[in-house]
Structure formats: structure tokens, C-alpha cells
Chains A and B, each alone.
Chain A
């Protein structure tokens, strides 16, 4: 296949990945790696590098809108980024050392987990009892806009949120994904923030987390310009199209289709990982 045809196909695939990723809130990165490795036969290390870069692009693009609307809690994000960036460095160092079939299997498992988490309805579980004293010291309790005006919220269990974020960072650095589902889970379930605050703050953090491991990937030669170019431009276009259709009627159907696609990709990743090395 000539580079021209290959680039156009990757670009189109990335538009679709970015579109579905932003509609479902999973992000484009999580489909890019299986798409590149399974469909296009790209080495998983190139795929991880390209995906990570596209994650920075979509997160920064979307964060701009969220931050302006006042949903992101910048203090919470900043504090938790200590955990996600250290985790991302650990993840990137692991990626440089682990054999690729093992990375493929871990990817498949994380993919299954994300599909499962995002398919469940989110039940709002606010921090109504006393806030964590640590949250008060760190000035994390904030307000967010609702149709009835600004509403105040408290923050619970900062230490457990912090440890979840470390795991999210490792997943991001090792697999080249944004790991938004783990981040949102930490803020929803542990710290018990309002939906919109946890989603927007997670989005705000994803770019910084990904930048921490992207530096290492660039230095180690994992980021190939020819491959990353169509992936980044495609995911960016696809996700901004997706953001515009976020409240459209077809969202539910698309989510169901996407869930099936993710399940198949996850099984395929695990199977090819096992076949490619672990069972030899």
C-alpha cells in the first residue's frame, strides 16, 4: 500500500474513532490503538505513540470549552495531576520494558473495563456529609453553574481519589490512552463530585497526564511523524464533530453499537496478545 492511500485510510478511521469517542465520552485514544494494530497491522508501540498525541489534542480542544463554562475545578485538577503525571511516567517506563504481547493483553482488559463502566448508568452520589478535612485545607470545595444558578459542592475522600488517579496515570502512560473512565470513576465514586464537574475536570487533566508520557515516547523514538499526522488530524476533526452532535437523538443507538465494537476489539487484542507470545 502506498503511503498516500495508507494515510487517507488512517485519517478516515481516526475521524470515526474521534467521533464515536467523543459521543460516548471514552475518548478517541481507546479505539485508535486496536484500530491501528488489528486493522492496519501497525506495531503496537507506534500505535501507542500516535494515540497518546491524539489524546492531548482532543483533551486540550475540549477542555477549552469546559474551562470557560466554569465546570472544571482547576484546584482539584492541579492537585490530582501530581498523581496522574507520576503514574504516567511509571506507565511509560513500563511500556519501554514490557514485551508487546503483554501490553496487548493489558490493553484488551482495560478496554473491556472501560466499555463496562461506560455502559452503566451514572448515579449521582454527592458528598453531602462533611467534606474531607484535606479537601478543606486544599481549598477544593467549589461551585458550579446549574440552571438555578451557582451551586456549591463538597469533596470527599481525597486520598482514595488520589490513589485511583495514580492508577489512571499508569494506564495512560502504558497504553497511550486518556484513561478518562478511570479518572471520572475516581471523582464520581470516591470524591463524590457532581457529574459535570468530574467529567470536565477529568478532561482538563487528560492533556497534562498524556503530555507527561508523550515526552518520554518522543525521546525514545515511539512517535512516528508519518503515522501520527493522519491520526492526530483525524481524531481532532472527528471529536469536534462528535461534540456538536452530543445531544442528538441517535446518541443512544450509537453508544450501543460502539459498545459492541469495543467488546470485539478487546477480545481480539487479548487473543492476538496471547497468540503472539504468551502461549508460544
Chain B
């Protein structure tokens, strides 16, 4: 493929980001699937009820709680860990962009990307 000089510096970044996103999704889906199978084996024959909303127990809501629960191979904890990996995928993409913009000495975009990154971290770790 012929590329003008303008397009070139971005390409390395595009391939890298593309691969990162795909790997993150596959890893997350595999973890969710494993957790799901364990969950169904243990709880598949109890009755489903999602009509009434109750907040999830706290061990399924915080990063520390989820990791603890997942590593004792509880189905629900493993699923949450997979979902956490999924949420982390675009966040890692943003973090990586900070590095790539910094390497290109693009200060303006380092700042822009840092702003987006702080908003995401606030959401995930806030309170």
C-alpha cells in the first residue's frame, strides 16, 4: 500500500491499538465464559429473578472484592473479573495513546489524552 509521509507515523500506532483492543476483548470473553460455566453448574437449576432490583453485594462491586472472589474460583466473581477486564480494555487503549503521543512529542494531545484518562480513572476508582 502506498502511503504519503503524512500517514506513516500513525500507522504503527493504529496496528498496535487494534491488536490491543482485540486481545482485551478475547481475554475478557474467555474469562466471562469460564465464570459463566462454573456459575451455571453451581446455580443453573435455581430460579431466575431479575424483576426486582437489589444492589449487587459489595464483593461484586469493587475491584478488590471482585479479584478476591474470582481467585477462589467463584463463578460470579470470575464473570465480574472478565467484565472488569473488558472495561479496562478501552482504558488501557487511552493510557497507551498517552505514551504514543508523548513519543511523537505531541504535547497538545498528551494533555488531551490525560484529561480523558483522568475522567475514566475517576469513574472506575472514584468514591
Contact = CB atoms under 8 A, between A and B. Distances in A.
Contact of A233 (B3, B36, B106): B36
Nearest to B56: A221
A71 to B, nearest CB: 10
Given A149-B2, A225-B60, A215 B87 contact: yes
Interface string B37-66: 001100111111011111111101110000
Given A3-B44, A225-B60, A229-B39, A74 B97 contact: yes
A163 interface: no
B90 A211 contact: yes
Contact of B28 (A57, A63, A150, A230): A57
Interface residues of A, number: 70
Q: Which secondary structure characterizes the binding site on chain B?
A: helix
A122 interface: no
A86 interface: yes
Interface residues of B, number: 74
Contacts of B55: 220-222
Given A56-B86, A57-B28, A60-B90, A229 B35 contact: yes
Given A3-B44, A82-B112, A215-B87, A67 B17 contact: yes
Contacts of A85: 116, 119-120, 123
Interface in A1-20: 1-7
A78 B53 contact: no
Nearest to B54: A221
A53 B50 contact: no
Q: Which secondary structure characterizes the binding site on chain A?
A: helix
Contacts of A78: 94, 97, 109, 112-113, 116
Contacts of A45: 53
A6 to B, nearest CB: 4
Nearest to B26: A61
A188 interface: no
Nearest to A67: B18
Interface in A102-121: none
B112 A89 contact: no
A232 B29 contact: yes
A218 B87 CA distance: 10
Among A6, A42, A59, A78, the one with the most B-chain Cβ atoms within 10 Å of its Cβ is A78
Contacts of B87: 53, 56, 211, 214-215, 218
A208 B21 CA distance: 11
Nearest to B39: A226
Contact of B7 (A41, A138, A150, A215): A150
10 contacts: A53-B86, A56-B90, A78-B109, A78-B113, A143-B4, A143-B7, A149-B2, A218-B84, A224-B50, A226-B43
